[in-house]
Copies of this chain bind each other. A is one copy, B any other.
Amino acid sequence: MPPRGEHSRTELKALILEAAGTIAESDGLRGLTARAIAQAIGYSPGTLYNMFTDLDDVVVQLNTETLDALHDRLAAVVPSGVPEADVLALARAYVGFARERPRRWNLVFEHNPADGRELSEHQRARIEDLLALVAAALEPLFPASEARQRDHAARVLWSATQGITALAGAGKLARAESVDGMLRGLITYQLRGIAASSEHPDFEVP
């Protein structure tokens, strides 16, 4: 049976997420209330609970969309084959994305789902995709037999970039180092260290 309103079920879901995104961007998690969303789309609060179990659920799905958008952005970076340049380009794309929508991006980390609620499979897959982009950029530095080490290095670089973006972005680093300078410091030395190493230990099997 078609909906009585002007929007189908899926349209409404998209509407809600869009409104939630807008509110999150302007007011952060604090302003992201059920009533605010409902009012923004011209429905009553109860309607949200037809397609979302929770407000938490709304945030989780919003974060999933954010990760999707981030992935699209990073996937658009065209590799040059030079690891240092490619990793830096990916990191800059990451930071650029985070700086354009700071609050919305922050929500991905600010929001701790209630106990027992796990990361969705879709979200895990997206993160895996993102890491694959970094790993691909590192390809020339590792022989084919060292795929594990290459993936490990990608994870380290990814987490480190995330840390730099988070701390510097939130102004939690006392002096105001530029994010870009820190990224270059990280990537330059990290890749130089890898390149300077004749063999690459498996840090997970000590």
Interface residues of A (CB under 8 A from B): 28-30, 106, 109-110, 112, 114, 118-119, 124, 127-128, 131, 152-153, 155-156, 158-164, 166-168, 170-175, 177-178, 181-182, 184-186, 188-194, 196-197, 201, 203-204, 206
Closest to A125 in B: B174
> Contacts A174-B128, A203-B181 given: A162-B152 contact, CB under 8 Å?
no
Cβ–Cβ < 8 Å partners of A193 in chain B? 188-194, 196
> In the complex, are the beta carbons of B189 and A206 less than 8 A apart?
no
Q: Is the CB of B188 within 8 A of A204?
A: no
Among candidates B112, B118, B167, B184, residue contacting A110 with C-beta atoms closer than 8 Å: B112
Can you spell out 17 A-B residue pairs with CB atoms less than 8 angstroms apart?
A109-B170, A110-B112, A124-B174, A127-B173, A128-B174, A152-B185, A155-B173, A156-B182, A159-B163, A160-B160, A163-B163, A166-B166, A178-B204, A186-B190, A188-B193, A192-B197, A193-B194
Report copies per complex: 2
- Main secondary structure on chain A at its contact with chain B? helix
Q: Once bound together, how far apart are the Cα atoms of A192 and B167, in whole Å?
A: 24
Query: In chain B, what residue has the closest Cβ to A163?
Result: B163
- Chain B, residue nearest A107 (CB): B112
Task: Given A110-B110, A172-B127, decide whether A177 and B196 contact each other with a Cβ distance below 8 A.
Answer: no
Chain B residues, CB < 8 A from A119: 171-172
